[in-house]
Structure 1
Amino acid sequence: MRGSTATKALSAMLLGSLFSTSAFAQEEGTDEADNQIVVYGRALEVIGVAQSGSQGTVGYADFEDVPISRTGELVENVPGVIATQHSGSGKANQYFLRGFNLDHGTDFAGFVDGAPINMRTHGHGQGYLDFNFVIPETLERIDYRKGPYFADVGDFTAAGTVAFTTADALDPFAKVEAGAFGFLRGVAGGSTRVGSGDLLIAAETQFYDGPWVLDEDLERFAGLIKYSTQGHDSSFSVQLNAYDSKWNSTDQVPQRAIDNGLIDRFGNIDPDLGGKTTRLGAVVNGTIGSTTYNAFATFYDFRLVSNFTYFLEDPVDGDQFVQVDRRWVLGGSVDHQFDLGAFDLTLGADLRHDAISKVGLFNSVGGVATTPIRTDSVDETGLGLYANGEVTLAPGLRAILGLRYDHISYDVSADLAANSGDGNDGILAPKASLAWQVTDALELYANYGQSFHSNDVRGAAITIDPVSGDPADRVPVFARAEGAEIGARVQQGSFHASLVGFWLKLDSELVFVGDGGATEANDGSRRYGVEANLFWRPTDWLLLDASYARTDARYVGPPAGMRDIPGAVPEVFAGGVTVKPVTDLTLTAQLRHFGSAPLIEDGSVKSDPTTLVNLGGYWDFGPLTLGAEVFNVFDAKDADITYFYESRLAGEAAGMEDLHIHPVEPRQLRVSARYRF
């Protein structure tokens, strides 16, 4: 253990005593119990405003009293999204949505305060989406939109988009959490008036060993400083955020090793795996009249040690490898809204430049890099231009038309000169939507749109495979997505429900390849499915919410019988019940389920379904809230993630195809104390 228990406890206590200034509440709607202002984002009236049946907002109060075992699970507030993990708490989560195994972010775009989080041409996987730097208590809301129907976003948006927004002001608080397997977390924050604005400061530290035979030894630190002002017809905010984490990881392990008693279910094959991430960011947001602007600068440093196939390629030293990524991401966006009477027009542009000083893959032994497989420096610049117009065709009937153009230019400098090169490409994407408000409580939607994900531009410049030396096929810079959706939304008092059916086609599927530890471009694909969502607060003391999604996903192109998409989860269900039996007590039960998925193209091997139930209880004693959370109440022995590929263990004569699983964590209790100053 790198940090002693005493050191960890002291760190948490120090965070708990950082802030003692006053602040202003930043929420809407009144809780009759204590007159505290609360917003339930899922209860907001969006009929007459929303563009589709699959978009919405989640307010902080929606997930404040919901058990969340790791930061990345915040995205599970988006109906139909599942977030899992297979390589330690410090690594970006594995996301599943609309029949996609999104790996760590492909076709799922993420933003925090307007800054894009997906990483292009990343050392671990295209579109890598790591939300671990977010401090949950600082969030004001989560906005989500599914499908390629929105002109103001471009790359990675085929399946959906999620945008986190931090609060401008917070009541000062301090919180300490402790639980099984060495879990300890301390977070504190608050804001005060400075001049004409609010200064918010928050910090978090977390330590965790996990149930693994090899201690995860997670050490995580995050901080946020934000200053914001609000004028008559303008607003401005500037923030600095910082994040650093390091961890050991127990990756997925072969089922045969568990069955044969070689390792425990929570054991490992390679004890030298893990990673570290450092992220420093600056973000500016503002409005001037009808103009909105954003600018961001992010420094990012990443290192990950993995070994998925053990001794398949190298029976002596093993197949361990190191992935690294070091870059600056610079950019911004601007848009202006024109009120032309019956027609509202928005024109916008966004710019992003990734200055990647080092992105590489190395062989390694004992966690130490040995021979390089490939190292590159890359400059990649993306420019997006869009127009979006909304017109009222008849009373209650709106039409929204959009057009977006994206252009990416790149310059790859590879250690192998033949793989260096530069180039550029562009893509035009139309959008169209209809929204018909049938009654005050019912709105119908029809949507069509095109979008894309970018490919790793090293694949656009490559000519020679750096491992085999054989000629390599290049991939295009863009893979187009095309989709359509019909939906309905009902909002009657506290009852909110939506139902949508969707269709989506991709020119090329990005798929995680287990035996290579990489995301590769594959055949085109098509998906169609249905989603249903419910949010109902029948009384002041009872809240019900549920979401269900069913998707049929297939490759387009391969012969019949070889069209299943590995990892494409066909069925997802999540539900929750929250009750307040007395004024100061909140009890909640949350369930999530994702179904059996094909693991190879012929569908002959499938994963088992996974079902988890979490419970939470929160007691208010004036400014003090005590909490208790039980994760995996029924101690399910399911898998968080399952792959099927060939690997070789020490002593085996040859490689074997096998299931490789990362188990869900066992039942565990966490308790917390939060004090509001």
Structure 2
Amino acid sequence: MNRLRTRLLAAAIGAWCCQVPAYADPMLPAVLIHGARDSGLGRLDSASAGSVSRQQLEARTVYRPGELLEAAPGVLVTQHSGEGKANQFFLRGFNLDHGTDLRTTVDDMPVNQRSHAHGQGWTDLNFLMPELAARLDYKKGPYSAREGDFASAGSASVIYANRLARSIASIAAGQHGYRRAMTAASPEAFGGNLLYALELLHKDGPFTTPEDYRKVNAVLRYSRGYANNGFSVAAMAYRGRWNASDQIPQRAVDAGTIGRFDTVDASDGGDAQRYSVSGTWRRTATDSASKVNAFVIRNRTDLYSNFTYFLNDPVNGDQFAQPDRRVTSGLNATHSWHLHGARRATDITAGVQLQNDNIFNGLLNTRERRRLSATREDHVVESSAGMFIEASTQWNPMLRTTAGLRSDHYRFKVGSDRAANSGAVRDHLASPSLSIVLAPASTAELYFNMGTGFHSNDARGTTAAFDPASGDAVQPAPGLVRSRGIEAGLRIEPVQSLQTGVAVYRLAFDSELTYLGDAGATEAGLPSVRHGVEVSNSYKPVKWLSIDLDLAYAHARSRGAAPGQAHIAGAVEGVGQLGVTVSRRGAWSGSANLRYAGPRPLVEDNSVRRGGGATLNGRIGYRVDSRLRLELEGFNLLDRRDAAISYYYSSRLPGESQARDDVHFHPLEPRNFRLSAILQW
């Protein structure tokens, strides 16, 4: 029994420490990481879950803030348009578009935007400030009752620090008009700590029409107490403006009509704003723990896009605008009871998650950002209440389980400019989950996970009676779509410096119904199933050197498709990352990351495919003295002429008499460098 209590105490301390990293408060004990990563033994419930520390995040070379999520093995982040637009995400055979089925939070605030004008689950991470990221927690699969909407493929949670060990100021300059200035500090104030941060950025990119991306980003945060007993309140503000490069047709590049970094419609672009106020309160007693956080977020997005050029309107062109205005408010509350018996110990956690989105958006036909007509304009109020209970039991030193049940209730209310598409719909789902962990040795664990999850569909699809563009009658879409997952895994640490994890999974969706923001209509998709295997390795042969190797393979197919039509367009079949980090050798440090994105079909019959491509990024740092550090970052060091993302569809260029089916791609940026000077005091 003493051994069991010791193991439970160690796990509790590890979980507690992870609330705020060691650097954030010198009075907190440090989390022990034997290898390059925290092994998670004795703490995590699946082989595909994990946590990435501040030091590991700081060592990564990221071209854009959203790429911080690539620290989670198997995640790919790219861009098909201007830098201010939400990124494209790929995970476990999903082309997640702009975030559907990857639940993302920053400081417990949801980033995914429901019923967005451009795409369901719109995840704009451009407001993320990497210097403030204390930790990244990730999970894959619908195996946790704590995660709700959009979490079927996975979830990623970025936690900001309450306080910084040292104040920081940095300036950076690079090719293609890249300029960045940033400062942050957390002095003691009013009996607590007042953290402030400001970021200014400009970037043109390599494109013939400069992106002229301008970003202003600020954070103000007051905290008092510690990770387990304390509170914080925070305000964030972000604005970005840009010109969009968008994807271009392969046929025009091959013919020499346009170059790889040209654009067809130079007036494409956008403007995004995000303002938020949030607060978090925690209280921990001997046998219980409580946490409450609340938030209000105001988002505004204006997108101007033209993907088909002159296909639908030979005179004015096909540019369209997607305005979106919303206020999102929510409350999350959990309470845990720690029950200790003579032979076992159980933690029971109950929680409630409330969210309301008040949305005004639409789809407009435009020319050079001037309004011509409206395809649709809507007022959406989407409300949800999620409740869960989860019980984690340590039965003996070799066996622990986590069983959970979640219930979600949604109300979709749509006021459309077409009365027939207006209305109110309710939907609900119950989602059970179970995780079993066997620990035959202190350095090895076996995992078995099963559960159900869901994603919500766009509210406008749930009340649709007519296609707003064609006027054809359509069937309304269900509000919630169920997913079912099962996974088996292994995590071992044969020696303190080496960790290996293996996960084999299967994930099925009842339907891949998606809302096509570019057309203003809902597309009915077939049921789907994905299965695959992931291998994650981390090795620290010496104190100053870390090596990470992550490999993943996914097989994605539609169910019930016509013969030869079962492939899922955009489903990446293989992903790999090799990272090498030199933490410090005298005054020098550095890292290199080789990322591989595998081949994928672009159409359902697999007749058009795109091959895989590799990207090498790197960083070299030199510490001038205890306060000043210089860093040189290099991107696409192999200068590959790959596509960042590719699609296959019909378009019509000026001078063409008819539509042409073609591959449309966004080029990977050529080799470029950035130099930073970082001052800490």
The verdict on a shared fold, with TM-score over 0.5 as the criterion, is yes
Out of 465, 470, 473, the residue aligned to residue 471 of structure 1 is 473
Aligned partner of 1:253 in structure 2 is 248
Q: Are positions 1:540 and 2:543 aligned together? A: yes
CA apart distance, 1:54: 0.5
- CA distance, structure 2, for counterparts of residue 504 and residue 446 of structure 1: 14
Matches within 5 A, 1:385-396: 385-396=387-398
SS at match of 1:642: strand
Report the CA distance between 1:90 and its aligned residue: 0.4
Could you tell me which amino acid in structure 2 is paired with residue 537 of structure 1? K
1:203-352 superposed matches below 5 A: 203-230=198-225, 234-289=229-284, 290-341=289-340, 342-352=345-355
Give the Å deviation of 1:574: 0.6
- Give the match for residue 400 of structure 2: 398
Q: Secondary structure at the match of 1:43?
A: coil
> Do 1:246 and 1:275's aligned partners in 2 also have CA atoms closer than 8 Å?
yes
* Matched-pair contact (CA < 8 Å) for 2:385–2:410: yes
1:96-143 deviations in Å (ceiling 9; x for gaps): 000000000010000011111101100110001111101110110000
2:32 and 2:678 mapped to 1: Cα distance?
17
Aligned partner of residue 61 in structure 1, secondary structure = helix
Q: Write the letter of the residue equivalent to 1:309.
A: T
1:574 counterpart (577, 580, 583): 577
Partner of residue 176, structure 2? 181
Q: Are 1:175 and 1:187, in contact at CA under 8 Å, matched by a contact in 2? A: yes
1:674 and 2:678 aligned = yes
Q: 1:116 is matched with which residue?
A: 110
Question: 1:360 maps to which residue?
Answer: 362
One of 146, 156, 177 as aligned partner of 1:152: 146
Partner of 2:422: 420
Out of 44, 63, 73, the residue aligned to residue 67 of structure 2 is: 73
Whether the 8 Å CA contact 1:285–1:295 is kept in 2: the answer is: yes
Q: Quote the residue 1:528 is aligned against.
A: 531
**Structure 2 CA distance for aligned equivalents of residues 577 and 627 of structure 1:** 16
Spell out, residue by residue over 1:198-223, the C-alpha distance to the aligned partner (whole angstroms, 9 max, x if none). 11000101000000001000001111
Give the Cα–Cα distance (whole angstroms) in 1 for the partners of residues 88 and 149 of structure 2.
18
Identity, % of aligned positions: 40
Aligned to 2:665: 661
Cα shift at 1:233: 5.9
Deviation at 1:473, TM superposition (A): 1.5
Assess, with a 3 A threshold, how the Cα gap between structure 1 residues 124 and 284 changes in structure 2: closer, same or farther.
Answer: same
- Conserved 8 A contact 1:42-1:58: no
Q: Distance in 2 between matches of 1:587 and 1:504?
A: 38
**Number of positions where the alignment pairs a residue of Structure 1 with one of Structure 2:** 648
Q: Alignment partner for residue 24 of structure 2, among 16, 20, 26? A: 26
Indicate conservation of the 8 Å contact 1:103/1:512, yes or no.
no
Gaps of 5+ in 2: 1-21
Alpha carbons 2:433, 2:452 under 8 Å: kept: yes
Displacement after TM superposition at 1:194 (Å): 1.2
State the alpha-carbon separation in 2 of the partners of residues 580 and 457 from structure 1: 48
- CA-to-aligned-CA distance 1:595-624 (integer Å, 9 cap, x gap): 110000000100121210012100112210
The equivalent of 1:628 in structure 2 is 632
| 1:323 counterpart SS class | strand
Closer, same or farther in 2 for the Cα pair 1:63/1:25, shift >3 Å? closer
- Compared CA separation, residues 154 and 232, structure 1 to 2 (3 A): closer
Matched AA of 2:331: G
Q: How much has 1:437 moved relative to structure 2?
A: 1.1
TM-score of the aligned structures, taking structure 1 as reference length: 0.93
Who is 2:50 aligned against? 56
Shift of 1:490: 1.3
Residue correspondence of structure 1 range 553-572 to structure 2 within 5 A: 553-572=556-575
Hey, what does 1:460 align to over in structure 2?
A: 462
Q: Distance in 2 between matches of 1:346 and 1:587?
A: 42
d(CA) in 2 for partners of 1:232, 1:420: 46
What residue is the counterpart of 1:507 in the other structure? 510
Distance in 1 (alpha carbons) for counterparts of 2:33 and 2:126: 24
Distance in 2 of aligned mates of 1:259 and 1:338: 64
What secondary structure, in the 3-state scheme, does the structure 1 residue paired with 2:656 have?
coil
How far, CA to CA, are the matches of 2:346 and 2:57 in structure 1?
37
Q: Compared with structure 1, are the counterparts of its residues 644 and 466 closer, same or farther at alpha carbon in structure 2 (3 Å cutoff)?
A: same
Q: 1:641-663: CA deviations, max 9, x gaps?
A: 00000000111110000000101
Q: Deviations over 1:512-531 (max 9, x none)?
A: 86984988441110000000
Q: Is the 8 A contact 2:139 2:156 kept in 1?
A: yes
From 82, 85, 104, give the equivalent of 2:76. 82
C-alpha separation between the residues in 1 aligned to 2:515 and 2:354?
A: 28
CA contact (8 A) 2:35 2:539 kept: no
In the alignment, is the contact (CA less than 8 A) between 1:515 and 1:645 conserved in 2?
A: no
- Choose the corresponding residue for 1:549, options 549, 552, 560: 552
Aligned partners of 1:43, 1:380: CA distance in 2, in Å? 39
1:425 & 1:539 partners in 2: Cα distance? 54
The SS at the match of 2:610 is coil
Alignment of 1:472-491 (within 5 A): 472-491=474-493
C-alpha displacement of 1:67: 1.4
Whole-Å separation in 1 of the counterparts to 2:32 and 2:215: 30
Deviates more, 1:575-584 or 1:493-502: 575-584
Q: Residue 6 of structure 1 aligns with which residue? A: none
Normalised to the residue count of structure 2, the TM-score between the two structures is 0.93
Identify which range, 511-520 or 577-586, moves more after superposition.
511-520
**Alignment correspondent of 2:19:** none
Q: For residues 281-336 of structure 1, give each alpha carbon's deviation from its aligned partner in whole angstroms, at most 9, with x where no partner exists.
A: 01111112211111010001000000111111111111110001101000111011
SS of the aligned residue for 1:347 comes to strand
Q: Give the whole-Å Cα distance in 2 for the aligned partners of 1:237 and 1:41.
A: 32
Counterpart of 2:257 in structure 1: which amino acid? Answer: L
Displacement after TM superposition at 1:196 (Å): 2.5
Once residues 618 and 229 of structure 2 are traced to their aligned partners in structure 1, the CA distance between those partners, rounded to angstroms, is 43
Aligned pairs (5 A) from 1:190-209: 190-209=185-204
Amino acid at match of 1:606: R
What amino acid sits opposite 1:442 in the alignment? A
Give secondary structure in 1 for the equivalent of 2:600. Answer: coil
Give 1:40 deviation, angstroms.
9.0
User: Which residue number in structure 2 is paired with residue 599 of structure 1?
Assistant: 602
Give the conservation status (yes or no) of the 8 Å contact 1:28–1:38.
no
- Residue 153 of structure 1, CA deviation: 1.2
Q: Partners of 1:247 and 1:83 in 2: how far apart? A: 19
Unmatched segments (≥5 aa) in structure 1:
1-23, 31-35
State how far apart, in whole Å, the 2-side matches of 1:581 and 1:56 are. Answer: 25
Q: Distance in 2 between matches of 1:167 and 1:517?
A: 40
Query: Aligned partners of 1:346, 1:184: CA distance in 2, in Å?
Result: 46
Identify the residue that residue 9 of structure 2 maps to in structure 1: none
CA distance in 2 between counterparts of 1:235 and 1:659 reads: 54
Deviations 1:132-183 (A, max 9, x none): 1011101100000000000011100110000000001111110011000000
CA positional deviation for 1:562: 0.3
Instruction: Determine the C-alpha separation between the residues in 2 that align with 1:49 and 1:232.
Output: 18
Report the residue type matching 2:334 in the other structure: D
Residues 40 and 58 in structure 1, CA contact (< 8 A), matched pair in contact too:
no
- Residue identity in the other structure for 1:284: G
Partner of 1:641: 645
One-letter identity of the residue aligned with 1:181: H
Question: Closer, same or farther in 2 for the Cα pair 1:412/1:511, shift >3 Å?
Answer: closer
Find the counterpart in structure 2 of residue 11 from structure 1. none
- Could you tell me how far 1:29 is from its partner in structure 2? 12
Aligned counterparts of 1:515 and 1:152: Cα–Cα separation in 2: 32
SS of 2:420's partner is helix
The Cα RMSD (Å) is 2.0
